[in-house]
């Protein structure tokens, strides 16, 4: 069985405990660097691979401090605090740039915890939308590589067809999953949280340079819910809350087809205007 | 002029560049440690005091890795990446525990950026609610110290009067400001993002042990908006999205009286059940 392209892109080789070598993968290339979602998943993978890891991911914050380029990089994951049932992590991605300078390109913090079962409720219900089978997949941005790795079925808020400055909303809703089927896990869920194009493009119907500078993911999915989701579609929606002075935020929710809220995510995005 | 109690609580003494001494302040004491909001503001203050700081806060993520106790602590703030207009920070709070072990108690990452003026829009409008003058301030939790530092005017979703398991929503809305007037800045805005009591208490009308494990704040306020807000009230609302298996998330928005969205915030909270 061949390795899924997502797992190829995430692959890390341990040099020492918590110290890994990886490389940017061309299959997830964005305009000027790797897709932010694959970088988030790679940093989380360094935690998942760590021999001292306790439990499963609860929270992940990834800061895109500088442009990640093609070629090799180093990921260092450190459990800074281990409690009885929770563990706090710091992660850094280092890369040597074209000038030969080695520097921190991405930072992250993560929280893992032993799974527990408690009383619970979903407070945000999945909107009533047509099932994935009723929404045709749309080939988006044929020139961008990472988009080809996903099957995207836009329900609302697709990329504007005309850039006329006439936008009225920043809400996008879509069904999405790996184009090549792969059972959902925390890594692919983290990557999917970054699947949305810049909200300012939609709200303003204007294409401007934009890039995520920090993303947080909260994982709500239990192992059973991940297993039950399998290779099914996720319903993903994202909306900006404030767009102002060069940065906007985005709030996102991802449900499985059964309507279970698997992850919530937020990011702040730099934009030019 | 005497120093405001909030500034007393945040006070840091530099030992070396980016290396500070501080101490837990009794005026912001919660049940078993300091109010999480004052800790968030203290870590941000280490960034604000740093001589190499570029710009103003855009994003802050604080991870409450272990219980912070009374007494002195050390805060180390490091600019890990400085770009032309943005700067990425890591911050750690260290404390020696009762057993004499020195360890990381809180971690944070932050993003600062040079202010710019661009096209913008608020995507989430402030709900139509009565003005602060029409909502009487309510003394909450007389036994908890930090609550006394705020003037709170609950609009909806106040702390349940009966714990009968009959809750139906996790939404709380309130007007809030420092009880002793202090002009709003990034530090007090960060602290206010943690002002909400645990969402699971409201949704389930059941009081269970709960504590924030990670909080992210996105700052949307410009210097002009902070100045215009001054000592006025903020309208703050928070709602859970998913409550499940020992953790829930919370999404929050804070507007000034003029209806400008000054900050959005998210947190994930541990709870027993």
> Model confidence at B2, in pLDDT bands (50, 70, 90)?
confident
Chain-chain contact of B218 with A266 (C-beta, under 8 angstroms): yes
| CA atoms of A139 and A151, how far apart (whole Å) | 8
Nearest to A109 among B86, B107, B273 (CB): B107
- DSSP annotation of B34: B
Per CB-CB distance under 8 Å, the chain A contacts of B248 are: 120
pTM of the model: 0.97
Per CB-CB distance under 8 Å, the chain A contacts of B83 are: 65-66
> What is the ipTM for the molecules in this complex?
0.97
- Supply A178's token pair: 């790996």
Is pLDDT at B143 greater than 70 in this prediction?
yes
Length of chain B: 273
Query: What pLDDT does A190 receive?
Result: 98
Chain-chain contact of A264 with B241 (C-beta, under 8 angstroms): yes
Per CB-CB distance under 8 Å, the chain A contacts of B92 are: 80
pLDDT tens digits, A131-153: 999 999 987 667 899 999 999 99
Percentage of chain B beyond pLDDT 90 is: 93
Query: What pLDDT does B200 receive?
Result: 94
Distance from CA of B183 to the nearest CA of A (A): 22
What CA–CA distances, in Å, run from B1 to A69, B4, B59, B237? 53, 9, 32, 33
Is pLDDT at A223 greater than 80 in this prediction?
yes
Is pLDDT at B1 greater than 80 in this prediction?
no
Nearest to B242 among A66, A86, A123 (CB): A123
Nearest to B244 among A103, A108, A120 (CB): A120
What is the dihedral sign for C-alpha A116, A122, A124, A126?
A: positive
Work out the mean pLDDT of chain B and round it to a whole number: 96
Beta strands in A10-113 (DSSP E): 13-16, 19-23, 56-64, 72-82, 86-96, 102-113
**In this structure, are residues B222 and B262 in contact, taking their beta carbons and an 8 Å threshold?**
no
- Supply B41's token pair: 């503001």
For tokens 């203290």, name the residue. Answer: B42
Query: What pLDDT does B140 receive?
Result: 63
Name residues whose C-beta falls within 8 Å of residue B35's C-beta, 6 or more positions apart in sequence. B28, B29, B146, B191, B194
pLDDT tens digits, A235-264: 999 999 999 999 999 999 999 999 999 999
pLDDT tens digits, B175-223: 999 999 999 999 999 999 999 999 999 999 999 999 999 999 999 999 9
pLDDT (mean) for B130-150:
89
Chain-chain contact of B242 with A83 (C-beta, under 8 angstroms): no
| CA atoms of B21 and B12, how far apart (whole Å) | 5
Chain-chain contact of B58 with A213 (C-beta, under 8 angstroms): yes
Query: What pLDDT does A72 receive?
Result: 97
pLDDT tens digits, B57-84: 999 999 999 999 999 999 999 999 999 9
Query: What pLDDT does B141 receive?
Result: 65
What CA–CA distances, in Å, run from B252 to A168, A194, B23, B194? 23, 21, 28, 9
Question: Rounded to the nearest 5 degrees, what angle is found at the Cα of A58, between the Cα atoms of B62 and B166?
Answer: 95
Work out the mean pLDDT of chain A and round it to a whole number: 96
Chain-chain contact of A214 with B59 (C-beta, under 8 angstroms): yes
Chain-chain contact of A86 with B213 (C-beta, under 8 angstroms): yes
Chain-chain contact of B264 with A251 (C-beta, under 8 angstroms): yes
pLDDT (mean) for B160-167:
92
**In this structure, are residues A214 and A167 in contact, taking their beta carbons and an 8 Å threshold?**
no
Nearest to A63 among B88, B92, B264 (CB): B88
Q: By CB neighbour count within 10 A (0-12 exposed, 13-18 middle, 19+ buried), where does A143 fall?
A: exposed
- Supply A15's token pair: 């040099």
Per CB-CB distance under 8 Å, the chain B contacts of A111 are: 63, 213-214, 268
> Model confidence at A43, in pLDDT bands (50, 70, 90)?
very high
Per CB-CB distance under 8 Å, the chain A contacts of B54 are: none
What is the dihedral sign for C-alpha A147, A153, A157, A163?
A: positive
Residue of chain B nearest A81, judged by CA positions: B65
* DSSP-assigned states of every residue in B109-141: EEEEE-------EESSPPP----GGGS------
Per CB-CB distance under 8 Å, the chain B contacts of A88 are: 63, 65-66, 104, 107
Query: What pLDDT does B34 receive?
Result: 97
> Model confidence at B225, in pLDDT bands (50, 70, 90)?
very high
What CA–CA distances, in Å, run from A231 to A9, A187, B164? 19, 14, 41
Nearest to B88 among A58, A65, A81 (CB): A65
Beta strands in chain B (DSSP E): 13-16, 19-23, 56-64, 72-82, 86-96, 102-113, 121-122, 150-156, 172-178, 210-219, 234-244, 247-256, 261-271
> Model confidence at B98, in pLDDT bands (50, 70, 90)?
confident
Residue of B111, B245, B255 to mutate, interface with A, max A Cβ within 10 Å: B245
Query: What pLDDT does A269 receive?
Result: 98
């Amino acid at each position: 069985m061949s390795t899924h392209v997502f797992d190829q892109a995430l692959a890390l080789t341990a040099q020492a405990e918590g110290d890994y070598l990886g490389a940017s993968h061309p299959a997830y290339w964005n305009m000027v660097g790797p897709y932010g979602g694959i970088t988030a998943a790679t940093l989380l993978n360094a935690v998942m691979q760590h021999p001292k890891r306790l439990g499963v991911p609860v929270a992940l914050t990834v800061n895109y401090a500088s442009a990640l380029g093609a070629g090799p990089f180093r990921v260092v994951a450190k459990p800074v605090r281990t409690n009885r049932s929770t563990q706090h992590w710091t992660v850094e991605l280092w890369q040597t740039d074209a000038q030969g300078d080695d520097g921190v390109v991405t930072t992250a913090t993560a929280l893992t915890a032993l799974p527990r079962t408690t009383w619970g409720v979903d407070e945000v219900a999945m909107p009533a939308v047509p099932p994935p089978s009723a929404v045709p997949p749309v080939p988006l941005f044929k020139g961008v590589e990472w988009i080809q790795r996903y099957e995207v079925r836009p329900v609302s808020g697709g990329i504007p067809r005309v850039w006329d400055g006439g936008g009225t909303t920043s809400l996008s809703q879509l069904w999405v999953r790996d184009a090549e089927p792969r059972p959902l896990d925390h890594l692919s869920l983290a990557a999917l949280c970054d699947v949305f194009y810049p909200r300012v493009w939609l709200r303003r119907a204007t294409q401007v340079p934009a890039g995520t500078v920090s993303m947080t993911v909260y994982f709500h999915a239990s192992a059973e819910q991940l297993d039950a989701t399998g290779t099914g579609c996720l319903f993903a929606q994202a909306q900006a809350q404030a767009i102002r002075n060069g940065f906007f935020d985005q709030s996102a929710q991802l449900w499985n087809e059964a309507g279970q809220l698997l992850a919530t995510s937020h990011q702040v995005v730099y934009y030019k205007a």
